[in-house]
Structure 1
Amino acid sequence: MKLQERAAVVGIGISNMALIRYLVARGVRVTACDRTSAEKLGERAAELARLGVPLVAGEGYLEPLADHDLIFLTPGMPKHLPEIEAARRRGAAISGEIGLVLDLCRAPVIGVTGSAGKTTTTTLIGEILRAAGRETYVGGNIGKPLIEQVEAIPSEAVVVLELSSFQLQLVHRSPHIAVVTNVSPNHLDVHATMEEYVEAKKAIFRRQSPADWLVLNADDPTVRAFAAEARSRVVLFSRRADPGGRDAAFVREDRVIWRRGGRETPILFLDEIRLPGLHNQENVLAAVAACFLAGAPLSAVREVVTQFTGVEHRIEPVRVLDGVKWYNDSKATSPAEAVAALTTLPAPIVLIAGGSDKGIPFDPIAPLVAEKVKTLILMGPTAPKIEEAVRRGGYAGPIRRAADMAEAVALAREAAAPGDTVLLSPACASFDAYRNFEERGSHFKSLVEALS
């Protein structure tokens, strides 16, 4: 993408503040736009003033788009708003911070997307490549924005990006190695339809060439079907069976196998994987395939996979108190991610769930709630929907309502007995009470650590 003299940047979050600093440093005259008032933006508004960037805030924040031919959007906003559609029709270039990173990056890029497992898989890939001695940069939907350092990343390095559906709607280039972990309903509060959500995920491979690689979960029918649309070389992974093909990662007789060009290499036994849960076996297989395609040696793969215990806020052990195990799974912002945690942890479970609504049905969690949950504690705007779904699915146990996280933790402490598990796995976004799932998880952990 060619930078122009003027650009509008919509949404003043962390990644777009980094983008604005990058653009201003290169002489681009930026107009910042945000629905939030300057007063609420606080230090970010003050930094914009120091940079000499005018801010259009409040109800008419999208009006400047009519006067700009280069527009950068914050990933999580709907892309079909009238002002955006009008800009697109008149030929304005519309992108995002990560789209510009992909355009500028000289190093090969490994991109990871999916409804669940993105962060764990991306982190695993980054750690394996570092163990292999590669200069590695990890970013995208996690970590620090890469836009301010992308031009300094050497061509011999490797960049690993976690890519959300929102980010993929704003890219014009695909990674050299693309990984899709799975696809299930998510973010339907922003995507107009499930079909739009799936199409956004496909952007990770749409612009690949025949020299590129696409790593797909063969156990997910929606993801496996992507292979028929790919121009790149496809590698399937499966924890259930050999998915076929000359190149694949799969489980056979409790052992992870990597096949390249028809030649098979045993990698490790499943009981050597320290990450808990069947879903993490899939994440390991995806990471193994991507890293071998990127040239990592077997020694680096084994070193990391046999030591890696997980990422913060994802089925994260917090403490054991009076015989009760407490887990922070704040990153479970969808029912599918909550299902993974409920599948992994033993019953009886005291489950804390609820938050802001993403427009996703909660029925997928109902069977596991009925099977494993002793007491269900609900909070946030989605509490009635979750209660209705689990009752419909056969849950007959007690349901308590909490006004906030502090009350939820207190109710969980009251309900749990020695041998129980208390699990925060909201199945919802956090924006009703927190800026992000990290803040929610950190608050939960601080409350649990404070219990005496």
Structure 2
Amino acid sequence: MMLPFEDVFSPVRSVLILGFGREGQSTYRFLQRYYPHCRIGVADKNPDAVAGELPVTCHLGEEYLNALSGYDLIMKSPGIRLEKVDEKLREKITSQTDLFLQAYGRKTIGVTGTKGKSTTVSLIHHLLQKTGFRSVLMGNIGLPAFDFIDRIEQADQLVYELSAHQLQDVHASPHIAVLLNIYPEHLDYFGDFEKYKAAKQNIFRFQQAGDKAVCGEKPEGASFFCDEIRGTDLQKIQEKDLLRQTGLKGQHNLKNILVAFKVLQYLDVDESRLSGALAGFKGLPHRMEYVGNFGGIDFYNDSISTVPESAMAAVQSIPETDTLILGGYDRGVDYRQLIRFLSQSAVQNFFFIGQAGERMFQMFLAQKPTDKNLIPVENLQEVFVKLRSLKAVSCCLLSPAAASYDQFHNFEHRGDLFKKEARRFSPKK
């Protein structure tokens, strides 16, 4: 099989995989299969990153970046920070996303945004399949691109979820590029909001004549051209009751549907076919996911919520919410707008977890609320213990507005624990 990366991998004798998470392990499998002549090294800050006996040279622990100079090519995984690396070494660094877009960008539909990426790529993938296309879904949704190299056919549409970390150092853009929104996030990694925005906007930076661009919300001051989803578009389509067909909730998801429709229209799919094609699509786990009614309480899992905007959208989309779980790992996000919004909302009970929760709790206290029940807790399990003592609770929503990495592996781990605790919840007898 002739690969589009021959000029990259064939000449090199050694490759360092920088970061050995899901994508790094995918790169390892790719090299083992197609370029067995390469000596492979793995560098990762986690001393336990490599499990079992693999035929690789390991550089693990705090000094893992010292290995960079010893290899011909460096395959960087998303999220690895390289602030003080010599420019000559930077010339050897690439990534799955960068190589994939250079090779397959002309047939790729790329989607980025602070929130809504996974739902939107899944929608696009679903609509493509329902309207007669072959579609391959990949990327930040948990499906590394190199895992699909041997399955890509000429007629395939490649739907790629792209994070800011993946876009940070790319040199190519997708043929159809989607930017859903940009809110402050990952500031602990990027340093400031402007650098984060710049990474996101790389999705358009290398587009060529004939490429397409669409924005759910165009950032203020952005210089690039894109088709925008406007308020009038939402008003026109609301009467079709599209959200009910999917089980999705909220104006933001209606906008995600419109973005997906726009992408299909770029591919010459008639708009009249799209509403029917939505049938059968279901929302993804951890995104305003209805867990069920247990002990007389409706539980919703929105663990994907890691920024204030998503928590506000969840409360607006589930207006019956009277109990909200907030907090987690504190990335220094500005919570002032969220606290103002929640202070004026109908939500009565608030649980606060972690350092982000503590900061939100103190901001609430500063407002001297008289009609809110503010409850700091150590962890999710304590939420369910104290929930039994509250009166007249009918709807409990986990929408933390904060990252999960203080107590959990990721937002899925947090959401799974919430669902487990909810399903065995019973009121105090």
The equivalent position to 1:236 in structure 2, one of 211, 228, 231, is: 228
Match of 2:234, as an amino acid? V
- Give the C-alpha shift of residue 394 in structure 1: 6.6
Q: Which amino acid aligns with 1:355?
A: G
Measure, in 2, the Cα distance between the counterparts of 1:383 and 1:319.
25
- For 1:159, the equivalent position in structure 2 comes to 158
Deviation for aligned residue 1:380: 1.6
How far has the Cα of 1:53 moved from its partner?
Answer: 0.8
Q: What TM-score does the superposition give when structure 1 sets the normalisation length?
A: 0.85
Contact 2:218–2:228 (8 Å) recurs in 1 = no
Letter in 2 for 1:401: P
In the TM superposition, 1:221-370 aligns within 5 A as 221-222=219-220, 225-226=221-222, 228-230=223-225, 234-238=226-230, 240-241=231-232, 250-255=233-238, 268-269=240-241, 274-298=247-271, 300-305=273-278, 307-370=280-343
The question of 1:19 aligning with 2:14 is answered: no
Shift of 1:178: 0.4
Asked whether the 8 Å contact 1:8–1:32 carries over to 2, the reply is yes
- After superposition, what is the alpha-carbon deviation per residue over 1:148-175, rounded to whole angstroms, capped at 9, x for unaligned? 2224301201111111101101322111
- Give the corresponding residue for 1:440: 414
Report the 3-state secondary structure (helix = DSSP H, G, I; strand = E; otherwise coil) of the residue aligned with 1:101. Answer: helix
Q: 1:11: Cα distance to partner?
A: 1.3
Match of 1:403 in 2: 378
Does residue 39 of structure 2 align to residue 36 of structure 1?
no
Q: Structure 1 residue 144: deviation in Å? A: 2.3
Show the counterpart of 1:45. Answer: 51
Shift in alpha-carbon separation, 1:119–1:392, aligned structure 2, 3 A: farther
Alignment length (residue pairs) = 413
**CA distance in 2 between partners of 1:382 and 1:91 (Å):** 35
Provide Cα deviations, 1:59-109, integer angstroms capped at 9, x if missing partner: 1111011223422222123242x2xx21x3455232222223323438711
| 8 A Cα contact 1:139 1:162, kept in partner | yes
Larger fraction in strand? 1
Matches within 5 A, 1:413-452: 413-415=388-390, 417-418=392-393, 420-452=394-426
User: How far apart in 2 are the matches of 1:313 and 1:416?
Assistant: 26
- Take 1:399 and 1:20, find their aligned partners in 2: how far apart are those partners? 48
Point out where structure 1 has 5 or more consecutive residues left out of the alignment.
242-249, 257-267
The alignment yields a C-alpha RMSD, in angstroms, of 2.2
C-alpha distance in 2 between matches for 1:53 and 1:271: 49
User: What is the match of residue 14 of structure 2?
Assistant: 6
Secondary structure of the structure 1 residue equivalent to 2:324: strand
Contact 1:132/1:297, CA 8 A, preserved across alignment:
no
Distance 1:309 1:151, change over 3 A: closer
Which of 47, 57, 64 is the equivalent residue of 1:61? 64
- AA at the equivalent of 1:316: E
Counterpart residue number, 1:263: none
Question: Would you say 1:110 and 2:118 are equivalent positions?
Answer: no
Return the letter of the residue paired with 1:63: N
Q: Deviations over 1:234-261 (max 9, x none)?
A: 32212x13xxxxxxxx2344558xxxxx
The CA deviation string for residues 111-131 of structure 1, in whole angstroms up to 9 with x for no partner, is 111111111111111110111
Q: What corresponds to 1:379 in structure 2?
A: 353
Summarize deviations over 1:340-382 as a string: whole Å, max 9, x none: 1112111452111111122211223112321232111111222
Cα distance in structure 1, aligned partners of 2:61 and 2:390: 44
State the alpha-carbon separation in 1 of the partners of residues 323 and 94 from structure 2.
Answer: 43
Q: Give the fraction of aligned pairs with identical amino acids, expressed as a percent.
A: 30
Of 73, 86, 105, the residue aligned with 2:76 is 73
SS in structure 1 at match of 2:145 = coil
Cα separation, partners in 2 of 1:425 and 1:133, compared to 1, 3 Å: same
Closer, same or farther in 2 for the Cα pair 1:287/1:354, shift >3 Å?
same
Amino acid at match of 2:412: E
Letter in 1 for 2:138: G
- Indicate the larger mover: 162-171 or 139-148: 139-148
Give the conservation status (yes or no) of the 8 Å contact 2:164–2:200: yes
